[in-house]
Every structure is written in structure tokens, then in C-alpha cells.
Structure 1
Amino acid sequence: MIIKVIIIALLGIASAVPKPEEKKDRVIDRELSSQEHFNEEEQHNAQYDHEAFLGDEAKTFDQLPPEESKRRLGLIVDKIDYNKDGVINHEELRDWIRYTQKRYIMEDVERQWTQHNPENKDQIKWEDYKKLVYGFLDSMDPQDADKDDEGFSYKSMLKRDRRRWSIADGDGDDALTKEEFAGFLHPEESGHMRDVVVLETMEDIDKDKDGKISLEEYIGDMYRSEENEEEPEWVKSEREQFAKYRDDDKDGYMTEEEVKNWIMPPDFDHAEAEARHLIYEADKDADHQLTKEEILNNYDLFVGSQATDFGEALARHDEF
């Protein structure tokens, strides 16, 4: 028990990779919002646009009065117009939406780069990273390092990190620049790293290590039933999804290629589609671009506002 407490403390300091969660959403190219864009009656849901346009700032804007929402939206518009020509074109709006969706990743890279590289050197060496994150393994009982009570192996995580590090290391010098380190931390965001995401997903779910994923393994990755518990509807839906869409060749298993199609759906760019939608809704003169005035006149489409207590909202002191 003491050993386990020490391990947890050390992991917290070193920001080692956390244990897998019970229920995982492994799809990488997700919708821009957890909201439905249109309901079954094809009625438009503006909250989808708010979350797509603002990312994790949407909740903050929801608490602001209209005047403050418009003021902050004006500041955002100035940021989006990166060529400073006074209008927002499709490419600028698309790139902004992509930025808001990936902002948390960029912030995470900055935080971990600083944490693992306090002297702000140009590179982080593998041996330095390994010592900081996994150095505690040297003083552990080999049995504890190999597997804990829940079947989680720190040695396996070290091996996985080593492989991922080598793939991220483009020049093969066993040290990562900040750009390479970003690929190591978030391989789903780097084209040349995406195959390792598929490989790691296969390793996580393929419990019998036969190189393919059965229906039982697929469901088991997301849901573990309790004794005499009735299976939830969403689990039944996932069984149907597996049969209809995941298992393309209908052989009862998901291959590596089928897993890739599942977690990295091809041929649809959510940011591109959302940019076109917002321009269509707000472009009153039909010139396929937006002026600042057009955006501010449609502030409820872009950011909205639900606050009624102006004093409380303004007291938050949330500033850009």
C-alpha cells in the first residue's frame, strides 16, 4: 500500500501518462461540439455554433450580458482577420475554428515543455525525460513495476513511450524539439504519428493479442457490467455500430485498417463545414465573406448570451 502511494505521488510530480479510463471516446476527428447541430425537425441549434466558434470559452460567453459578448466578439474578430483587410474570409474563419478546437492541446504542450524542460533548452533528451517520468522504477520491486492491482504495467507504458518517442524523433538524435515533443504528447495531431495511435489502440483493446478486435473486446473497452445489471441502451447501440459500421468486411472482427477508419474517420472536415455554415448564415450581402459589422449583428449566432445578472457576470473579470 505504501509503495502504491509513493508511486502515485511521483507520477503526479512527473506528469506521467495516466491510467486508461473506464469508458473511452477513442474517435480523434470528433464533432466540434457535443451538441446536435440540427434536431430531428431540422431546427438549428445555435449552441453547436457557439462551441465550434469559441471552443472551451463557450461556457464563459454564455454567462455574459449582450454588451460584453459583443465587445469580446469584436476583439476575436480582429484576431481572426490575420491579413488585416477588414473582412473575414472562409480560410480565416476555418483556421480560427481549428485553432479554438486545438487550443487546449497547444496549452498542454507549453505546460509540459516547461515542466520537463525548466531551463528552456532547444531539446529534451530521452534519458532526461525517462529519469523524470519513470525514474521511480529503479527503486521499485520488479513485480510492482510490472503490474499493479488493476493490471496496469508501468514497464509497458515506458516501452510504449520509448517507441512513440523514437517515431516523433524525426532526425534520430534521441532528443525532441518542442515541435517533435508536441507530436510525442499528442500523436493524433501529427500526420506522421497517427499510425502509432492506431497501434496503441489495438494494443489496448486486443486483450487476447490475436491482432484483431472482437465484439466482446470492443464493448469491454467501454463498458464493464456489474452482476445482474441490465445492459444500458448505449451499449446495445454500440453493438449495432460494431456490426453495421466498424466491422466493414463482416467477419466478426475489426482489423487494424478498420480501427483506423473508426478512430480517424476520413473525408470530412468539420471546421471547413462549420466555416461555410457560419458565412452562409451571417453573410447578408452574399459576397462570401464577413465584415465585422455582419458578425457583430449576428453575435447570438457566434457567441450568444444567456446572462440576466449583469453585475455578477461583469464581476468575473474574464478578459482576453
Structure 2
Amino acid sequence: MVWCCHQAMKLYIVGLVLALVATTWSSAIPKPDEHKNRAYDKDLSDQQHEREGDHNNGYDHDAFLGREDAKSFDQLTPEESKERLAIIVDKIDKDRDGYVTEKELQDWIHYVQRRYIVTDTERMWADHETEGDKLTWDSYKKRTYGFLDEDLPPDHPNHSYKEMMDRDKRRWAKADKDQDNTLTKDEFTDFLHPEEAEHMRDVVVMETLDDIDKDKDGFISLEEFIGDMWPNKEGEEEPEWVKSEREQFSTFRDKNNDKKLDQDEVKEWIMPPDYDHSLAESKHLIHESDVDRDGKLTKEEILESYDLFVGSQATDFGEALTRHDEF
């Protein structure tokens, strides 16, 4: 389980986590080599769960609070951390029995992760000109790629933007369930976060192949697999985690032993059907802080391990404490 978290983080740290449509999220569009406009099965944090074999609490903070709230907890004193964590614990303990169970913790983690998606969609939706309750492709394209000449030759410096737009168009078509070339807000959510929608999973696979399959043969070789995670620098010794990834590729990823990954193998690799990030993290947090080993946490046990859940430093009260929406 620990390895799976570690593997997922190593794979998808290639771009800004949750920058799923990097070209759309600011008025200044980044250069193609600055962000990978790839959909992926996002993890709970853009941080590694382990660093060189040592546990990284930053991952747990992102998972438990959500990325934005985790930032707001970065400069709290221990006393402030515990005070505000206690308020969150009361929200997690839905049945008010004085214990936080694995299911309650899992539900909370899922809630804070989903909250980001909803907030992000609302922000992006407001940034575009909609027609009633729908956004047209032409409006989206104008807002995002209005600067782009679509008839660029392949050797033009801006041709990479053309590839980004083509990728967006393919994702748009998949998100457009009724095929009217417009997106409702729900469909736009699927467009921005395809890893969250079952019918968008093929897009996630195709975008992964697009980025990693350098020789464009429709497969991911071991060299491409490793090169995407760890661009080898001349004279730099290969880290242990990379050696582990090589072994995992041959032992678990390449199911038919043909030394490459096809679409089905890529799908199982990036979206394992039997792995739930929120459940894995809730199990981890309970394992690390359950002093009496009864399989659930009291508020006292959580506060005793406050540094695992929220850290000891933050700048403001944190959205998890001030929001009035229902959990």
C-alpha cells in the first residue's frame, strides 16, 4: 500500500498536480514545456508520501485538509494547530460518539478532495463567457487559444499549442455527453477533471500515452516509462526508487511480458481498480495515531498526533474551519 502511494506520486509529479488543463487556468498561457496538459488519476497530494525512505507528513496534511487549507496551516503554533484541529475532528465525527472511525475519516478525506474540484470548476466556469447554462467550444477556444493560428506548420514554435488545443478538443468531445458541442457545468467538470468520471477514463489513458510514448508506436516501453518519471542526468546515479520502478514494470505492469505496456496495461497502471487513495490514507492515519489499537481514533489521539494531521505552523484560520457548507 505504501509503495502504491509512492509509485503514484513518482509518476505524476511531472506536472503541477491538478493542472489538468494547464493552458486554461490563467490568462497567461504557459509554455508547452512548463506543464504537461495530461489527465491522470490524481493522488491526494503533489508531494511524495515518502522521501528517501522517510515518511513525509506534508502528504498527509494535503490529504487530510485539502491542498489549499494545508497551505493555510503552514505557520501555526502547536497550540493553534491543536485548537483548530479539534474543530475539524468534531466535523468528522458525524455520529458524535467521540470516535473517528476509518469510514468517517475516509469520507472526510474524500470530501476535502472533492471540494477542490467543485471550487475549481466554479472558478473556471466564471472565467468563461457562457450562453445560458452552457459553454460552447468556440467560446472556450477563443478564451484559451485565441492567439493561435490553427494553420501552423509542424516546425513552427507555437505548434505545441496546436497540439494542446487538439487534445482539449478530444477531451471536450468525450465530456460532451449529448454531443451538442457545448458543455453544461457538470460536463465541464468532467472536462477539467476527467479522472473523476468513469466515461472519461479512456481520455486519461490516451493522454498518458501521448506524453510518454515518445516513438509513437502505441505502447510504453521500459525506457519511456522510466524516462517520464526520472529524466536521467549524465553521471547521476539512479535512485533506489527508480530501480524499484524498473522491477515493478517487469513484475507487475507488463502483464503479457512483451516488454511494453499496451492501453489496457496503462489503464490498470494509472487507475488500479482495487486501490482507493482516500481509504489507503485513512488506514495510514489510523495506524500511525491509534495508541490503544482499537481501530478508531479519539479526539485526544488525533490531537496527540496533530503534526501528522495538520502540522504545527499556518497563516490563517483555514477554509475547513470557516466554510458554512455541509459535510
Specify the TM-score bucket, using the shorter chain as the normaliser. Answer: 0.7 to 0.9
Whether 2:86 is the aligned partner of 1:74: answer yes
Alignment partner, residue 201 of structure 2: 194
Letter in 2 for 1:156: E
- Alpha-carbon distance in structure 2 between the residues aligned to 1:29 and 1:182: 15
Letter in 2 for 1:124: L
Letter in 2 for 1:129: Y
Equivalent residue of 2:146, what SS?
helix
Provide Cα deviations, 1:13-71, integer angstroms capped at 9, x if missing partner: 6565862558999863546652339968xxx8766544432243445435322221122
Alignment partner, residue 148 of structure 1: 156
Q: Tell me the number of residue pairs that the alignment of Structure 1 and Structure 2 aligns.
A: 292
Give matches, 1:1-320, under 5 Å.
Answer: 14=27, 19-21=32-34, 28=41, 30=43, 34-36=48-50, 49-56=60-67, 57-58=69-70, 60-81=72-93, 88-117=100-129, 121-137=132-148, 140=149, 142-143=151-152, 146-149=154-157, 152-222=159-229, 229-234=234-239, 238-279=245-286, 281-282=289-290, 286=294, 290=297, 292=299, 295-296=302-303, 298-305=305-312, 316-320=315-319
Give the drift of 1:196: 0.8
Runs of at least 5 residues in structure 2 that lack an aligned partner in the other structure: 1-22, 320-327
TM-score by length of 1: 0.72
**Measured at CA, do residues 262 and 66 of structure 1 come closer, stay the same or move farther in structure 2, by a change above 3 Å?**
same
- Alpha-carbon distance in structure 1 between the residues aligned to 2:159 and 2:281: 40
Structure holding more helix per residue: 1
Moved >6 Å (runs of 4+): 22-27, 83-86
Equivalent residue of 1:153, what SS?
helix
Q: Which has the larger radius of gyration?
A: 1
Q: RMSD of aligned C-alpha atoms?
A: 3.9
Provide Cα deviations, 1:203-254, integer angstroms capped at 9, x if missing partner: 223233322222343344445556xx22540455554443333322221221
**Measured at CA, do residues 265 and 27 of structure 1 come closer, stay the same or move farther in structure 2, by a change above 3 Å?**
farther
- Alpha-carbon distance in structure 2 between the residues aligned to 1:294 and 1:141: 59
**Identical aligned residues as a percent:** 52
Runs of at least 5 residues in structure 1 that lack an aligned partner in the other structure: 1-9, 308-312
Higher mean displacement: 164-173 or 99-108: 99-108
- Alpha-carbon distance in structure 1 between the residues aligned to 2:178 and 2:95: 34
- Alpha-carbon distance in structure 2 between the residues aligned to 1:272 and 1:197: 22
Give the drift of 1:113: 1.3
TM-score by length of 2: 0.71
Alpha-carbon contact 1:39-1:45 (below 8 Å) kept: no
Equivalent residue of 1:233, what SS?
coil
